[in-house]
C-alpha cells in the first residue's frame, strides 16, 4: 500500500501511511473557465520506466483542489494543493514528513498537462491527458462507535448502488495508525461490492484511548465494536461482515473473529505464526543481516533482546527479581551503547526511561496459536515470499497446524513471489525502477472476499 514518505524506496516496513494536512493555495491569477480542471490520466516517466497517474482537479471555491491516484503504488485520493503562476504554469504540491514535497509543475495546453515531477529524491517528467468525467463508484460516511468506554472514529466506504452490502472491518498494524493509511486497501473491497470500515486506531486521530497500554485483546474488541456498529446500519448485510488485517492486524482480525459470533470471514495478511516477542527478534536479525553485521553481533543483540523480554515476563508474574535483572541488562546495554550495530538492533542504550505497561507486555507476549485453534470461519492467509519482518515458512506451518486442530477446512493460502512485508515488489538487478506495489496481492484478497460472501447468500 502506498506510503507518503521517502522510506518507501527502501521498502523496509509496511503498511503504515502518513497523513499530511494540506492547505489549498490561492493561485496568483483568477481561475480560468477550464484551466487545469478535469480528469487527467497519464504517467510519470524516468529512465524508460513509467508510473501510472490519475488526477482529478476541480474548482473549490476560489481555488482548485487536486486528488491524485498513484496507481502502481496503490495510493488513491492523495490531496495536493494547486497554485497557478501569472505565466500560467500550474503547480501541484503535497508536503512530506522529510520536508521535501512531491511536486508536479507544468503547463496545460488544450487537453494535455505536462512538465516536471519530483518526489522521493527523484526527478522525472510527466504527461497527463484530460479525459471525460467518470462516475464515482463509491460514497463515504463518517461513523463513530464505542469500544467499552472508548469512542472510536472511522469512515465507512460504500459501493455505489443499493444495499444492503457485505462488509469488511480493516484492523491496524503495530503503530498508532489513522484511517487514511487503509483507504487504498478498502477501495479494493469496495470495487467488488463490499463496504469497508476504516477507523483511527485507539489513541490516534479522532479516536480516544491510548495505544501503548492496549493489549491484543483490547485491539480485537475495538474491531468487534466496529463490526457490531455495522450490523445496525440498513446499508449493511449484518450476516456477511468479515475482518481483515495486515501484519499485527493479522493477529487482531482472527482474534476478533473468536470474540464474536457474527464474523463471516477472516483475511490475515503478513501475519506471524510466532508471538510478537519472537517475531521482533526475527525482524531485527533480518535488518542487521541486510545491513552487513556479523553473525556474532546478531547473536549478541538477539540474546540481549531475549533477556530483556524475559524480565517483562517476570514483571507480569510479579517476580521480585525483575528489577534487579533489568538493572543488569541496563548496565550491559550501556557497555554496548557505542557499538555500530545497536541502531540496527533497535536496542536502547539503557533502561533508564523504559517503563513497560501491563497492557503493552501482554501484547508483547501474545501467543497466536490458541487463537488460531478457535477460528471457525473461512480464512485467507496471504504473504510475500520476501517478507523479512515475519518468518513466512514457519508462520504458515504453525497457523495451518492450528487451523487443522480447529477442524477448519475452509482455509485458502496465497504466497506472492518477490513481494516484501509492505506488499512492495522487490527489485532485482541493477536496473532502476519506481517503487511498485504488487496490486495482484490486494486483488487476490478482495476477490476471495467477494466469492466468500457470495457463497453466504
The answer on 19 and 124 residing in a single domain is yes
Domain count, the chain: 3
Three-state DSSP class for residue 405: helix
CA distance 285 to 122: 30
Helix, strand, or coil (residue 407): coil
- DSSP track, 267-282: EEES--SS-HHHHHHH
Assigned domain for 60 exists: yes
Distance from C-alpha of 433 to C-alpha of 73, rounded to nearest angstrom: 12
Looking at the structure, tell me whether residues 247 and 396 fall in a common domain. yes
List the strands of the sheet with 379-384, edge to edge: 138-147, 150-159, 195-199, 165-170, 236-246, 263-269, 379-384, 411-416
**Would you say how long the chain is, in residues?**
457
Going residue by residue through the chain (457 aa), what tens digit of pLDDT does each one get?
Answer: 333 322 333 332 233 233 222 333 333 333 444 689 999 999 999 999 999 999 999 987 778 999 999 999 999 889 999 999 999 999 999 998 888 999 999 999 999 999 999 998 899 999 999 998 666 689 999 999 999 999 999 999 999 998 899 999 999 999 888 999 999 999 999 999 999 999 999 999 999 999 888 999 999 999 999 999 999 999 999 999 999 999 999 999 999 999 999 999 999 999 999 999 999 999 999 999 999 999 999 999 999 999 999 999 999 999 999 999 999 999 999 999 999 999 999 999 999 888 888 988 998 999 999 999 999 999 999 999 999 999 999 999 999 999 999 999 999 999 999 999 999 999 887 888 999 999 999 999 999 999 999 999 7
pLDDT in the model for residue 9:
31
C-alpha cell at 238: 449484518
Give the C-alpha separation, 270 to 16, whole Å. Answer: 13
Kindly compute the dihedral angle of the four CA atoms of residues 14, 15, 20, 22, in this order, to the nearest 10 degrees: 120
pTM tops 0.95, yes or no: no
Answer yes or no: is 43 within a domain.
yes
Q: Are 418 and 386 in contact (CB under 8 A)?
A: yes
- Do 270 and 284 sit in the same domain of this protein? no
Are 306 and 399 within one domain? no
- From CA 56, how far away is CA 348, in angstroms rounded? 46
Position 24 scores a pLDDT of 30
The residues that bridge with 236 in the sheet, in sequence order, are 165
The residues, ordered by sequence, that sit 6+ positions from 324 with a Cβ below 8 Å of its Cβ are: none
Domain that includes residue 330, residue range: 276-364
- Phi/psi zone of residue 272: left (φ > 0), alpha (ψ -120 to 50 degrees), beta? beta
Asked if the structure places residue 93 within a domain, the reply is yes
CB 343 within 8 A of CB 333: no
3 state SS of 71:
helix
Q: Quick one: 335 and 420 in the same domain? A: no
The answer to whether residues 235 and 378 belong to one domain is yes
415 and 336 in a common domain: no
DSSP type of residue 415: E
Q: Are both 288 and 256 inside the same structural domain?
A: no
Cβ proximity of 109 and 118 under 8 Å = no
64 strand-pairing partners: 59
**54 and 176: one domain?**
no
* CA 261/CA 242 separation, integer angstroms: 11
Closest alpha carbon to 389 in 294, 249, 197, 238: 249
Is-contact 266 379, C-beta < 8 A? Answer: yes
CATH number reported for the structural domain that contains residue 161 in this entry: 3.40.50.1820
Last residue of a domain, one of 73, 101, 131: 131
Paired strand residues for 130? 40
Q: Indicate the DSSP class of residue 3.
A: -
Q: Are residues 245 and 378 in the same domain?
A: yes
259 and 332 together in one domain: no
Angstrom distance (rounded) from CA 416 to CA 309: 32
DSSP bridge pairs for 128: 42, 113
Q: Indicate the helix (H) or strand (E) that contains 304.
A: helix 295-316
Locate 440 and state its grid cell: 495482484
337, 364, 391 - which closes a domain:
364
Indicate the Cα dihedral angle 283, 284, 287, 292, nearest 10°: -140
The string of DSSP letters for 334-375 reads HHHTT-TTHHHHT--S-STT----HHHHHHHT--HHHHHTT-
Please name which of 46, 41, 181 lies closest in space to residue 123, comparing C-alpha atoms: 46
Task: Based on the fold, state whether residues 227 and 357 are members of the same structural domain.
Answer: no
**In this structure, what CATH number is given to the domain that contains residue 17?**
2.40.128.120
Any domain includes 1: no
By C-alpha distance, which of 354, 415, 411 is closest to 384? 415
Chosen domain end from 303, 330, 364: 364
Amino acid at each position: 500500500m502506498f506510503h507518503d514518505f521517502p522510506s518507501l524506496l527502501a521498502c523496509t516496513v509496511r503498511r503504515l501511511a502518513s497523513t499530511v494536512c494540506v492547505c489549498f493555495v490561492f493561485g496568483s491569477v483568477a481561475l480560468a473557465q477550464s484551466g487545469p480542471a478535469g480528469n487527467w490520466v497519464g504517467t510519470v516517466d524516468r529512465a524508460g520506466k513509467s508510473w501510472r497517474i490519475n488526477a482529478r482537479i476541480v474548482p473549490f471555491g476560489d481555488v482548485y483542489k487536486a486528488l491524485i491516484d498513484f496507481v502502481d503504488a496503490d495510493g488513491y485520493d492523495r490531496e495536493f494543493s494547486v497554485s497557478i503562476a501569472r505565466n500560467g504554469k500550474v503547480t501541484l504540491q503535497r508536503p512530506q514528513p522529510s520536508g521535501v514535497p512531491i511536486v508536479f509543475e507544468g503547463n496545460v495546453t488544450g487537453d494535455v498537462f505536462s512538465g516536471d515531477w519530483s518526489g522521493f529524491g527523484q526527478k522525472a517528467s510527466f504527461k497527463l491527458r484530460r479525459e471525460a468525467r467518470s462516475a464515482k463508484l463509491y460514497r463515504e460516511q463518517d461513523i463513530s462507535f464505542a469500544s467499552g468506554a472508548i469512542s472510536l472514529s472511522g469512515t465507512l466506504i460504500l459501493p455505489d448502488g443499493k444495499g444492503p452490502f457485505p462488509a469488511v472491518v480493516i484492523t491496524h498494524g503495530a503503530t498508532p495508525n489513522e484511517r487514511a493509511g487503509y483507504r487504498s486497501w478498502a477501495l479494493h473491497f469496495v470495487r467488488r461490492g463490499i463496504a469497508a470500515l476504516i477507523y483511527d486506531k485507539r489513541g490516534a486521530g479522532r479516536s480516544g484511548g491510548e495505544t501503548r497500554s492496549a493489549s491484543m485483546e483490547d485491539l480485537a474488541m475495538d474491531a468487534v465494536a466496529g463490526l457490531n456498529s455495522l450490523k445496525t446500519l440498513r446499508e449493511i448485510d449484518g450476516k456477511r461482515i468479515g475482518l481483515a488485517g495486515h501484519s499485527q492486524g493479522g493477529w487482531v482480525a482472527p482474534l476478533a473473529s473468536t470474540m464474536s459470533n457474527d464474523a463471516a470471514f477472516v483475511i490475515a495478511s503478513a501475519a506471524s505464526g510466532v508471538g510478537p516477542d519472537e517475531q521482533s527478534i526475527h525482524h531485527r536479525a533480518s535488518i542487521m543481516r541486510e545491513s552487513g553485521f556479523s553473525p556474532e553481533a546478531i547473536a549478541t543483540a538477539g540474546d540481549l533482546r531475549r533477556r530483556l523480554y524475559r524480565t517483562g515476563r517476570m514483571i507480569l508474574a510479579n517476580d521480585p527479581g525483575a528489577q534487579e535483572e533489568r538493572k543488569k541488562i541496563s548496565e550491559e546495554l550501556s557497555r554496548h551503547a557505542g557499538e555500530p550495530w545497536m541502531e540496527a538492533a533497535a536496542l536502547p542504550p539503557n533502561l533508564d526511561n523504559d517503563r513497560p505497561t501491563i497492557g503493552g507486555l501482554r501484547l508483547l507476549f501474545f501467543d497466536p496459536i490458541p487463537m488460531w485453534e478457535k477460528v471457525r470461519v473461512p480464512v485467507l492467509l496471504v504473504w510475500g515470499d520476501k517478507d523479512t519482518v515475519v518468518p513466512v515458512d514457519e508462520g504458515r506451518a504453525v497457523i495451518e497446524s492450528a487451523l487443522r486442530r480447529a477442524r477448519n477446512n475452509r482455509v485458502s493460502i496465497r504466497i506472492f513471489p518477490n513481494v516484501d512485508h509492505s506488499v512492495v515488489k522487490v527489485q532485482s538487478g541493477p536496473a532502476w525502477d519506481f517503487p511498485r506495489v504488487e496490486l495482484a496481492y490486494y486483488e487476490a484478497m478482495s476477490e476471495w472476499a467477494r466469492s466468500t460472501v457470495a457463497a453466504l447468500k
